[in-house]
A = this chain, B = another copy of it.
Amino acid sequence: MNTSQILKLDPRLANDCFVLGQLKTSQLLLLNNSLVPWFILVPDTVATEIYELPHDQQLELLEEINIISNHMKQNFAVDKLNIAAIGNIVNQMHIHIVGRHVDDYCWPGVVWGADGKQAYQNKNVEEIKSRLTKKLPDVFTAS
């Protein structure tokens, strides 16, 4: 049994995000705010801080951050990545990978706490998921 299947997603993340699929150690989510491309990695752990993860899982997580960072830069019109592990409100460990553009709704401020949200159309979420499947066939499994 894949341990990732027993990781229950925090209700707030489940409510605010689409579950796109699974990487090796993390679920890949998309925050339902189409104003910026905003992926979230949820590693399979009950730890709340990255330094508490076993070394091997840290390396897997780093690799997944690299993969999604590179995918973001290659496939979305973004000028800068904002990568963060915060977790002040949602206790379950999750890493934000946000693609920022100098003309986006809250540039150069951070997205966390900024006013502004626009829900996705379902077809756009499916496009994002399809592109991940196409570009990352060896590491990403769509939900």
Contact = CB atoms under 8 A, between A and B. Distances in A.
Please classify the interface of chain A as helix (H, G, I), strand (E, B), loop, or mixed, using the class held by over half of its residues: mixed
Q: How many copies does the complex hold?
A: 2
Interface in A93-124: 100, 107-110, 112-113
Interface in A57-73: 58-59, 62, 65-66, 69-70, 73
A82 interface: yes
A84 B109 CA distance: 13
Interface string A46-60: 001111000000110
A43 to B, nearest CB: 14
Interface size class, chain A: 20 to 34
Contacts of A110: 86, 88, 110, 112-113
A80 interface: yes
B88 A100 contact: yes
A50 B58 CA distance: 15
A51 B70 contact: yes
A125 interface: no
11 contacts: A48-B80, A49-B81, A50-B83, A51-B66, A51-B73, A51-B81, A82-B84, A82-B85, A88-B110, A89-B108, A110-B113
